[in-house]
Structure formats: structure tokens, C-alpha cells
Amino acid sequence: MALNLQTLLEETVPGMGYELVDVEFGSRGLLRVFIDKPEGLTIDDCVAVSNHLTRLFMVENIAYERLEVSSPGMDRPLKKVADFERFAGEAVKVKLRVPQEDGRRHFSGKLLGLIDGNVTIEQQNETLRFPRQTVDRVRLDPQFPEPGANKKK
């Protein structure tokens, strides 16, 4: 009995020393696999995982046209409970599935975590809670210093 793709990836990628961050199906048979590791990724990491998955998919009869293995980027999505714990204190952007009463769907702030089933952020000294099932996505919001902020006078 063949495993489904998500299960196969969840069992394979961590065994290679990487975190499976996300899987996307694109147009024309494109399969994207996003991986990460605490010390960061190199192109060699992506090549190693791609080569391994290509062979594995052949054995398991997984149909796809093209495979891309890459980093999730600096604005990586937060999906698993462990992501919300690991990145608590970081700046995030939250997009809701349906607008709130005031019409807003997009929020940003400091991630406090996934608390009692709510994605919880602090925005301008106010705590905002969004039931997880109402959240479309949460992504890290990389913060960069203002140009020239580190210049000596």
C-alpha cells in the first residue's frame, strides 16, 4: 500500500536531518518541497534532498512533472504547533480567511504563540487573538534596520 505524499515526506525529510516546512502543488505537475534546518540551508542541502526524493518518488510511484526543493525564505510560513513555539517573540504577518467586522483581514505584530487554540500576537501594546481555524496563514515578517542606522557619526 502506497503512503500518501504528505506522510511520505513527513517520514523521510526529518530522517535526513531537515525540517519539512511546507509542500505545494503548482501548475503543470510542479511539486515544491520547502525544507529548513536551524543552522540554515545551502544549495547542497537542497540538491541532496531533491536527489533522494526523486529516487524515492520513483520507487513509490508518486506522479509529478518537476520537483523543486528550496528554503521557505525569510518570510517562512508558520504551520505546526512547534513553529509557533519556536518563533514566539518574532514579528509576523497574519492573514484571516474572512474579514473581521471592521473589514480587516491582515494584521502584523509580535507573535506571542498559539495560546488555547488562538494565534496570539501583540500589536501596539494590544493583544490580538485569532482562532486558528479562522487564520489563512501566518508568516514571519523579517525586520531590517533603517538604511544608515549603523553608521558612526
Residue 45 scores a pLDDT above 80: yes
Asked if the 81-140 domain carries CATH number 1.10.3720.10, the reply is: no
Give the confidence band of 147 by pLDDT, cuts at 50, 70, 90.
Answer: confident
CB 55 within 8 A of CB 19: no
What are the extents of the domains in the chain? 5-70, 81-140
Residue 16 scores a pLDDT above 60: yes
Residue 11 scores a pLDDT above 70: yes
Q: In what order do the strands lie in the sheet with 135-140?
A: 126-131, 118-123, 106-115, 91-96, 135-140
- Residue 26 or residue 36, greater confidence: 36
Q: In what order do the strands lie in the sheet with 66-70?
A: 19-25, 30-36, 66-70
What is the average pLDDT across 98-119?
A: 95
Class of the CATH domain delimited by 5-70: alpha beta
CB 49 within 8 A of CB 23: no
Give the confidence band of 1 by pLDDT, cuts at 50, 70, 90.
Answer: very low
Which residues have a Cβ under 8 Å from the Cβ of 58 and sit 6 or more positions away?
Answer: none
Spell out the alpha helix ranges (H) of 3-149. 5-12, 43-60, 81-86
pLDDT for the residue numbered 122: 97
pLDDT one-digit tens code per residue, 60-77: 998 899 999 999 999 999
Q: Of 27, 35, 30, which Cα lies nearest the Cα of 10?
A: 35
